[in-house]
Structure 1
Amino acid sequence: MRQDDEVTSYARPSIAAPEFRDSNGEVIDYGHRWDGSPPENTYSVDTHPERFAPLHAVADALVAHLRDTYDVDINEGAEVAADLLHPSYHDVVRAIRIRPNDPACASLTLVFTAYPGIYMHAGLLNDFHYPVCGCDACDSNWEGEADDLERQVLAVVAGRYRETIELREPDPWIGYAFTYPDGARSGGSREPGISPERLRAAKSILGRLSAEWSPWPRVDPSS
């Protein structure tokens, strides 16, 4: 059985979800507020960013799971936030790098921000944000963002993550793809800010991979 076909032992921790009310005293049902297009006055307005605070607890649980289950080295310190392709828009509270002891596997860096939210650097050249946008119009909630974070972390761990580089003019195109049991998600963007040295190093490493990054090796239970 391939490692990525095994059932993961990760479970989301029990979280007392924060509750917020509108000016009428009604509970705000984030994620289900708009039937159709959101009102114009909700764009660029971020009323309760603190609703995303549970993402920090979810990220902590993921780090604990990865530490206990896989053969990895873990580094914690503000300096590992430099792994991000682009610096965080928000103050960094914590930053944790989880690096498998197999160079064929993609590493992960989780950056906890004061917003509060999580930035994730996966592999060599891709950053992911949870949430991507917390404005009232986007209407995202912490549960949906936690779903994405967990799915993407576990896809990387299972070897279901791929990065690509296309050298286009004037800027390189950096792509990614996650494969999930129920489908796939891919994307990419032009990245003008990557240093030539970082780009060359990434291209060399990715060129040695057959396709996706490899599944992370598990801890040897006999050791």
Structure 2
Amino acid sequence: MIPYTRPSVDSPVFRDTDGQVIDYGNRWDGSPPDDTYSVDTHPERFAPVHIVAEALIAYLCENYDVAVEEGEAVAGDLLHPAYHAVVRAVRLRPNDSACASLTVVFTAYPGVYLHAGLLNDFHYPVCGCDACDSNWQAEADDLERQVLAVAAGNYSETLERREGDPWVGYAFTHTDGASSGGAREPGISRERFDSAEAILMKTPQGWPRWPNTASTS
């Protein structure tokens, strides 16, 4: 299998009112100014994340045995509707039903939502405000790491019944480390919870690796 390589991207350049290039990701030495919270000056800086998502979809389709469904309807896989208009949605379902599926949702923001497995959504960016100071490169890094971890069988989900909303967790193992998290997840229907619980009980060690296509086996 040929390793994934990020496509060449022309990084957009933005300037402040003084004409200086804005170095997103390195703007603040310490706490950001109060007036940068809830201000999103250049959301278009995240447009290259769409290019990276397209490349990941193409790579997964070429190297893994998956069925592809495309259409706005598959954005319904998300636990909660996207905050911005959906411009494209693609579901990649491995032809081994024991594996986790991925749904990639492109929004007009521009940004990407990723639904991985059964009960976890990931956003790129989580927040694009000036205070958070994220850049497209960091968001693309996270997207690539998490998508490739799912395909490699290095992703797991946990689900706990708790009083009130259930607790939904996740864990990724990457070549350079691991990441995990979780939170109470409101709004999950009883049917979706019960279905996910039954499936996750069969995968206590995490989701297995996606099967390769015949040409890359």
| Unaligned stretches of 5+ residues in structure 2 | none
Q: Are 2:63 and 2:216, in contact at CA under 8 Å, matched by a contact in 1?
A: no
1:147 corresponds to which letter in structure 2? D
The alignment's TM-score, normalised by the length of structure 1, stands at: 0.95
Counterpart position of 1:148: 142
Shift of 1:210: 3.6
Residue by residue, what CA displacement relative to the aligned partner does 1:18-60 show, whole Å, maximum 9, x if unpaired?
Answer: 1000000000000000011000000000000000000110000
TM-score by length of 2: 0.98
Between the aligned partners of 1:221 and 1:25, the Cα distance in structure 2 is 51
1:118-173 deviation per Cα after TM superposition (whole angstroms, max 9, x unaligned): 00000000000000000000000000000000000000001000000010001110
1:169 has 2:157 as partner = no
Q: Calculate percent identity across the aligned residue pairs.
A: 69
Shift in Å, 1:222: 8.4
2:12 alignment counterpart:
18
Secondary structure, aligned partner of 2:214? coil
SS at match of 1:148: helix
Q: Which residue of 2 aligns with 1:111?
A: 105
For 2:48, the aligned partner's letter is: P
Aligned to 1:138: 132
Check conservation: 2:172, 2:180, Cα contact below 8 A. yes
Give 3-state SS (helix, strand or coil) of 1:152's partner.
Answer: helix
Alpha-carbon distance between aligned partners in 2 of 1:172 and 1:195, rounded to the nearest angstrom: 10
Q: CA deviation at 1:209?
A: 1.3
User: Does the alignment pair 1:56 with 2:50?
Assistant: yes
Is 1:36 the counterpart of 2:30? The answer is: yes
> 1:211: how far off?
1.2
Report matched runs for 1:205-220 at 5 Å.
205-220=199-214
Q: Are the aligned partners of 2:65 and 2:213 in contact in 1 as well (CA < 8 Å)?
A: yes
Unaligned runs of 5+ in 1: 1-6
Match for residue 76 of structure 1?
70
Q: CA RMSD in A?
A: 1.2
AA of the residue aligned to 1:167: R
**Partners of 1:184 and 1:175 in 2: CA distance:** 14
Cα distance in structure 1, aligned partners of 2:216 and 2:109: 42
**Which structure 1 residue ranges, 4+ long, deviate > 3 Å from structure 2?**
none
Distance 1:77 1:24 in 2: 43
* 1:221 alignment partner, SS class: helix
Aligned residue for 1:3? Answer: none
Q: Which amino acid aligns with 1:101?
A: N
Aligned length: 217
Give the distance between the partners of 1:51 and 1:171, measured in 2 at CA: 35
Correspondent of 1:46 among 23, 40, 43 = 40
- Number of the residue aligned with 2:94: 100
